[in-house]
Structure 1
Amino acid sequence: MTLNSLGLDTKKTKELANQLNHLLANFQIYYQNLRGIHWNIKGKNFFDLHVKFEELYTDANMKVDLIAERVLTLGETPLHTFEDYIKQAKVPVGHNVSKDENAVALIVTSLTELLKIERHILNASDDANDEGTNSMMSDFITEQEKTVWMMNAWLGKSL
């Protein structure tokens, strides 16, 4: 086994960086969806949701940066083109979403996909003894689970 300067197995680190790039691509789609629903939301819930969607896209933008910087920390290059993002996207692309329930449902669906990817990375980073990636995924999962719960509560649904 060859170790990098972080003391991590180089083969496992490269695979983790690939998985993080997959997450990065999906986060970029999620981020863009949030921008779109923030701009296009209409109806009686406009004021509350407009503010909430801005809060979510600001948070997503910060997470995009954290993911990209983690890829760099692991010695790889983060994806940075829309072409790459679209190729790797599991998160659905929201087109012209302006109805409140559709917008919130898109967030729940998107976060559900992100959580699947993050749990996979969490397991892989644990196996690689990569505490930096593991901690990041754990933090993301905790926050996003709460957001899914809140959005489902707004929709009148249980988990």
Structure 2
Amino acid sequence: MNTIRVVRGVGRAETRMASYDAALAAANIHNYNLVSVSSVIPAAATVKDVKTASDLGPAGGRLTVVEARATTGGVGTVSAGLGWATGPGPGLFYEVAGEDPAAVRRRVEAGLETGRGLREWTFDDETVAVVTADADGGGYTTAVVVAVYGEAESIL
């Protein structure tokens, strides 16, 4: 588990959960059981922004993730933002959901700034990924940005 992949997707469907599943399918992580963790990046990890995951192992496996997710059943816009700050040691993720992509980006950047200030670590790089989707009110729309730690592990 030295690679953390950042993937993203948008999904639309008749139910909230189905739109979420469709967004995960767009990111190619829909066949796994996602286990959310807080937002610390291990020192030995490399973060790669890959947009869509390659095969991460057998269906039904467990994936450790940090996830930004926004869903609406109305008309408008949804935005999910995930930012990461890295350096020679540990790093941080920060996730935000909202309607306005610029506001989501600002909140991610502010969260990373606060997180950096709470730690005596060195941070050399910062990246923010925001996914935005327009919703027409015909069902549900979900936007996700997900950091996937390593590959799927057996859940049994």
Q: TM-score range by the shorter chain?
A: under 0.3
Please identify which structure carries the higher strand content.
Answer: 2
The normalised TM-score by structure 2 is 0.23
Please identify which structure carries the higher helix content.
Answer: 1
